[in-house]
Structure 1
């Protein structure tokens, strides 16, 4: 698969709180239309579509795209938990890189409900995450009235604290940074500044985590148009941004047999996906100036600094305290505000990250713009599990 793959257009709608959004099909159509308009093409030129979402009926992707027209193209619905959007992007890139298609639309959306993340539980069959949940119980027990996701990522944060002797104040600093970045993002749900004292004083969830260290459930949609270089040039499309390398990994044995909550929540999936991407692209984390990573909890942002190689293992606290994760530091992490502040409509998250990084590479990020960006890294994680790491490059 050697064909050059470009992101010709991106689109996104402002994220919103549950109960304040349009239905998923309306949101999805709006985001797809925005991406088509940004690319400068019509839906009739799209040859395939991949649609990511978590909570919804089968063929919900068709329900959203049929608002653009009924052209008979293949529409593939993708569910890979919180990595659904970037998994759809991974499939689209493969289709274009292999020559199976020249122009592919990728869409992600989610219409969520208020409260802690749950699931569509079917009582007559084992849950998909049964293995992860059993391992979690074996390692740290289980608290029936605590949110399950907070127990997973809170447990991982506690494991890091125990290993390296840090306090949860560093997690609060990450939350404050995220809000500061989101203040400049019109698509973000939570844009008001917060203080470390507010974060630490918000209701306790599990382990080191308080409520303001946890991403909120939100509704939204985002989309991208993925094209071959030949297609872009024939139609006069923007070729500024290409996908330089990409990897999708799933769980390794270490997720379940290491007795380490950091690995239960995907540390090794992330590390291996990043390694594959750096190796394929011939670059390293030291070459990056901007990263959008999966900060579903501030504890996971801290873990991901290290699993992506942005800072050596055991040095994430120093990385945060030194301001190396924000403007004026070594790499700007989540200029969008991330999941913590922008919101986390599960299926839309991966495409929203894509949109932010394309805008950064084009120099269109307004007050969020990071100077001198030529490479941008995206990390999107779903437990159960899937991790997608994507490296975008500005083409001179």
Structure 2
């Protein structure tokens, strides 16, 4: 499969909704940073895929018009929490198909405080089938639906494998240690397992510190062909070696909340990526995983093949998910510490992994990182897994 170069990346600092500028300002900052990183101007971009969840139908155009009015196709993308990586997937496919040599993927979100809610009550909700299964299983009562689903997935894992509550809390403590070194993260204070466990309960399993906060921000990536990169002096260190998107299977609606929240989508996307790249999970140095809740990071270790089914607790307790272990997961601090502006998350993951493979992230740098994996998941549902590789000898 032809290579696609990640030629430039940009990202804003993630902030609370009460502190956020407009989505137009956020998007403009991210795109200008990505263009500057690539060393090109906006006129060189031939297509743009713009992701956001909460906004009107052509907010993508509005977000870009302040950067440039060049007449290019602008495609608006909404795939729930997998929106940013869906924009990335579309941008890569545009290059692989030969339609374009240089494409922008942008994701942003100007969110509102509080739990996620449906805004359209006069028509069928896209998550109503997931909600019915979750309600029927009934691990928790009157709590917001997202933590009920993901907290229930964690309880399902406990019921199968005996996973301890403190093991989930250890994921949040690890995320906080990593986020200390990320100036763009919203939460940078290190917390202990005990502090995580002592924070206010949200579900039977999850405490507040185990749930990602609603935040605002933007991130962008410039993708191009290797030939385009060489013509314009763009750094070709980082390429997308393989990528797959999956949506729901019949198992998503069985009474197993691990599968309701996307375990099978993750496993299928990962299997496709390993087959495309001719690599395996043991060869990954660093990963950015969709840790909207600690429970999702834990089950994702198994879905991606970083450890066997039922092996996540040992993987965590052995320190195999952090520096000095098998694969450093979420060196950015992840969604738990960095924040989760829905449309921006997938491209923020791309930003982090590009820096890791370039070897430029200083205190949080994973030494010698050559292979990186990105996992971005949205209910409703979609999962995108992207594998990046580095050649630091090529500029």
Compute the RMSD of aligned alpha carbons: 0.9
Q: Which residue of 2 aligns with 1:268?
A: 264
Is the contact made by 1:182 and 1:341 (CA closer than 8 Å) also made in structure 2? yes
TM-superposition CA deviations, 1:50-103 (whole Å, max 9, x none): 001100111111111000111100000000000000000000000001110000
Q: In structure 1, which of residues 224, 229, 236 is the aligned counterpart of residue 226 of structure 2?
A: 229
Q: Which residue of 2 aligns with 1:35?
A: 34
SS in 1 for 2:104: strand
Is the contact made by 1:3 and 1:99 (CA closer than 8 Å) also made in structure 2? no
1:156 equivalenced with 2:153 (yes/no): yes
TM-score, length basis structure 2: 0.98
Q: Which residue of 1 aligns with 2:141?
A: 143
Structure 1's unaligned 5+ residue stretches are: none
Measured in 1, the distance between the counterparts of 2:343 and 2:361 equals 23
In the superposition, relative to structure 1, how do residues 142 and 318 fare at CA in structure 2: closer, same or farther (>3 Å)?
A: closer
Is the contact made by 1:3 and 1:96 (CA closer than 8 Å) also made in structure 2? no
Q: Which residue of 2 aligns with 1:242?
A: 239
Report deviation, 1:141. 6.4
TM-superposition CA deviations, 1:300-356 (whole Å, max 9, x none): 000000000001110111111111100011110000000000000000000000000
1:64 equivalenced with 2:63 (yes/no): yes
Measured in 2, the distance between the counterparts of 1:299 and 1:204 equals 14
1:306 equivalenced with 2:305 (yes/no): no
Q: Which residue of 1 aligns with 2:387?
A: 391
1:283 equivalenced with 2:283 (yes/no): no
- Between 1:135-144 and 1:273-282, the stretch displaced more is 135-144
Report deviation, 1:202. 1.0
Measured in 2, the distance between the counterparts of 1:208 and 1:124 equals 33
Q: Which residue of 1 aligns with 2:18?
A: 19
Q: How many residues align?
A: 392
TM-score, length basis structure 1: 0.98
Consecutive aligned runs of 4 or more in structure 1 exceeding 6 Å deviation: none
Is the contact made by 1:17 and 1:217 (CA closer than 8 Å) also made in structure 2? yes
Measured in 1, the distance between the counterparts of 2:215 and 2:261 equals 22
Q: Which residue of 1 aligns with 2:77?
A: 78
TM-superposition CA deviations, 1:186-215 (whole Å, max 9, x none): 110000111212111111111200100100
Q: Which residue of 2 aligns with 1:254?
A: 251
Q: In structure 1, which of residues 167, 184, 188 is the aligned counterpart of residue 185 of structure 2?
A: 188
